Structure 1
């Protein structure tokens, strides 16, 4: 049995908000990936506090198959963006304030076949961080693409809760036999956190995306945002410099490697 709080909110054009639970059957009418190459955008959008944030999303709406957001808030500008671009957004509300939900959001062009949401409370401030696993069909393949979007806990003494959150997510990923993308804001600002993160991703054979010009958001000298992958070929990776958030978006292009 899953906990009642393990739900996801789905937003799409001309539909009411849906409540989606783990293992719920989802009727999928088309694959997400129907060509050999595709792009994703990964971005902590700083609770949409800055006006030009939506402009960045609009610029990459038609250039990407997936947009993985952290600190996404269900404000009118973001929901209008989803509707106007005919996107499907699955959102894991970590907390709610003034009827606005905040948490990770995965935006795509088509429905996932299944999804699983995760929440972990910050040990010190007692506000949750969230993570989401979505699984998408691939055209002309029995395999499916697993996409994991995470905003890791930040304010903690030691790494016990950090380990718990990432271990829970990776346990789910390791059971998947097809291609995998794991990305988000990992808050890996200490040597202990960074070493733990790399230990975990190596244990399930994920590789990191490296950036030739690395302008990722850093804290205490260490990058916070990462993309890891498996069962895919990396075509290109760049970081988009912007003042629309306190993080820079990561733009990555992959090629299917299903043979």
Structure 2
């Protein structure tokens, strides 16, 4: 039997909460908790970063510096060490992680941090066929001040596979959720898009979902075989600023984007 994906929600001073994918996967059918709307941001600042399981010494200072001005943080390979959980719950209201790689002490996976509680949370995972390692994705929804909802996808795509069938399958599972959503969308993460076939599959998915790509004038993204691995895609908004920060705090460089809503 296929193992069911789940997310763990961390809130300061409260027990950890396990969240399974909802039976009814349409975020528009869920009631909104009072006071859960995103604040009225002039622009929405988003950070996307594969944090490399916090293996580099200065990850915390870099995350603290970048995170203090970010309204949404999408981390990949986030290992739930006490230091990361303490930072996340101190500075962010909503913290959800999908455990994927079960390390001896603390699991690693995608983690989404935001300034308000998600009203919809759908964890997804896919097992790589060769090494049997799990890669995860997390879909969260946040109500906006104007009554619309913002859907956020945080993804770490499968890496080692023969062919791209499993790669397409993981994207398709995200697409099933995205097609139900009519409002703005942000999708970011490490897409492991290191081959021409993977890039073609990714751009086919992006075109089918009517997403646009955030472009960087100075592109310092991590590459493999000459192709970038990390992306931010969007729809229903405009990009005001975007940059890639060079750092030694991970084997990937952080992506930052600032959006205004149209």
In 1, Cα distance between equivalents of 2:55 and 2:34: 34
Contact 2:36 2:119 in 1 (8 A): no
Matched, 1:63 2:69: yes
CA displacement 1:182-237 (0-9 Å, x = unmatched): 11000000000001100111111100000000010000000000000000011000
Cα deviation 1:19-49 (Å, max 9, x = unaligned): 1223386735231242231100000001100
Partner Cα separation in structure 1 for residue 124 and residue 95 of structure 2: 16
Matching of residues 207-246 of structure 1 within 5 Å: 207-246=212-251
Check conservation: 2:102, 2:108, Cα contact below 8 A: yes
Q: Is the Cα contact below 8 Å between 2:92 and 2:114 reproduced in 1? A: no
Cross-structure match for 2:27? none
CA RMSD, aligned part only? 1.5
Where has structure 1 moved over 6 Å in runs of 4 or more? none
Is residue 41 of structure 2 the alignment partner of residue 35 of structure 1? Answer: yes
CA–CA distance in 2 between the matches of 1:148 and 1:194? 18
Q: By how many angstroms is 1:120 displaced?
A: 0.2
Secondary structure at 1:248 match in 2: coil
Do residues 199 (structure 1) and 198 (structure 2) align? no
Q: Deviations over 1:77-105 (max 9, x none)?
A: 10111133244210000132223111000
Q: Relative to structure 1, is the Cα distance of residues 199 and 33 closer, same or farther in structure 2, using a 3 angstrom cutoff?
A: farther
Whether 2:150 is the aligned partner of 1:151: answer no
**TM-score (ref. length: structure 1):** 0.94
Contact 2:74 2:113 in 1 (8 A): yes
Give me the whole-angstrom Cα distance separating, in 2, the residues matched to 1:92 and 1:28: 25
Q: Is 1:18 the counterpart of 2:17 in the alignment?
A: yes
The alpha-carbon distance between structure 1 residues 231 and 92, as it changes in their structure 2 partners (threshold 3 A), is same
For residues 1-259 of structure 1, the aligned pairs below 5 Å read: 5-23=4-22, 27=33, 29-139=35-145, 141-257=146-262
Name whichever of 111-120 and 76-85 sits farther off.
Answer: 76-85
| Contact 1:37 1:255 survives alignment (8 Å) | yes
- Partners of 1:9 and 1:67 lie apart in 2 by 16
Report deviation, 1:62. 2.3
User: How does the TM-score come out when normalised to structure 2?
Assistant: 0.93
CA contact (8 A) 1:28 1:113 kept: no
Helix, strand or coil at the partner of 1:196? helix
**Greater Cα shift, 166-175 or 230-239:** 166-175
